[in-house]
Amino acid sequence: MGGNLDRDADEGDKSEMILSVSRRTDVPNYYSEWFYNRIKEGFLYVRNPMNAHQISRINLLPEVVDCMVFWTKNPENMLARLDELKEYPYYFQFTLTGYGRDVEPGLPDKRGVLIPVFRKLAGKIGAQKVIWRYDPIFVSPHYTPDYHLRAFEEIAGSLAGCTRKVVISFVDMYAKIRRGMEELRMESFFQQGMLELAGRLAEIAGRYGMETESCAERIDLQSAGVRHGSCVDKNLIEEIIGCKLMVNKDRNQRTDCGCYESVEVGTYHTCRNGCRYCYANCNDAAVKERVAAYDAESPLLCGRVGPDDRISERKMKSLKDGQMSFWEQGGG
């Protein structure tokens, strides 16, 4: 397999064991077979994006994985095999917007495919464990605030009873997405406009039994009925697993991010959704090259271990605060 295994090196002092699957790519949509194979074998490898020859070995045994957070725009490929995750607590962040294929070219029809998939997933695992994401929001001559309100209400009505929460955010203009946003004629959207739109979205969500949270927003939307959220959500995880977690905020995320520490398992420049607002893909050529290296049997996602790679076994342990029931500690 190549590489050299160094125990307790580099990232070996880290212990957080919430698994992020994945901020960097849509694992449920395109790489579910790889992930299920990794679950079966009990480990996976993650290449450090800042150091190409540094690889971490991540233990996936149920006794050290406190929860898995799946990020996806289409988890349909996972649904038939969810019983293989029965020993693991988990929940899904499911992005479902009103954009067309000019913005999200790799996705199937929202009404005909994705909304039914969302409902099917919620039917299997419960509304608590499926979070609806309507983000990122940008405005243009086509995608006006009124357009978003209409799309949001249609989706919210279709998902009523299938989720308890919707997450919204406004697009951040990263250098990587600037050209795509300019081609879509993205318009400036100032704070007052954001507050007004967020408030109306929150009102709609409330009518369908959903609370509204923001994701890594610089502006305070609480006056609009939108509280700052945590996508890797300590409170939700404690509710799912039934006990307290000893976990800290994730210092590796953006300043305004409310997420708690997690272990990222994905690889940049491997998502085939092609979304124009995505910061995780460099360009189409890079995605094509990495996707060509996909092997569902490899411990690495879209890659293989080379002779110059160094593998560090990352120390893993549960973050559970003993085994006392969360409810017995007065949580809730």
Q: Which sign does the torsion angle of CA 145, 146, 149, 155 carry? A: negative
The CA-CA-CA angle for residues 299, 121, 163, to 5°, reads: 120
pLDDT digits over 104-140, tens only? 999 999 999 999 999 999 999 999 999 999 999 999 9
pLDDT of 329 reads 41
194-226 confidence digits (pLDDT tens): 999 999 999 999 999 999 999 877 788 989 899
Question: In this structure, which amino acid lies at residue 293?
Answer: A
Q: Phi and psi for 216 in degrees, rounded to 5?
A: 50, 40
Q: What is the mean pLDDT of residues 77-95?
A: 98
Residue 30 and residue 205 in contact, taking contact as beta carbons nearer than 8 Å: no
Q: 331 pLDDT band (50/70/90 cuts)?
A: very low
Average pLDDT, the chain: 89
% of the chain residues with pLDDT over 70:
89
pLDDT digits (tens, 9 = 90+) for 38-76: 999 999 999 999 998 999 999 999 999 999 999 999 999
More confident site: 96 or 11: 96
- One-letter amino acid identity for 279? Y
Q: How far apart are CA 331 and CA 147, in angstroms?
A: 40
Strand stretches in the chain, DSSP E: 4-7, 18-21, 43-47, 54-59, 67-72, 90-95, 130-137, 165-170, 211-214, 227-228, 263-264, 310-313
pTM of the complete model: 0.89
Residue 240: closest CA among 178, 320, 314: 320
Whose tokens are 């996976």? That residue is 44
Q: How confident is the model at residue 318 (pLDDT cuts 50, 70, 90)?
A: low
Residue among 27, 48, 26 at smallest CA distance from 38? 27
Task: Please tell me the predicted confidence (pLDDT) of residue 218.
Answer: 79
Paired with 132 in beta bridges are: 94, 166
State the pLDDT at residue 3: 53
Taking the domains of the chain in order of start, what are their residue ranges?
4-329
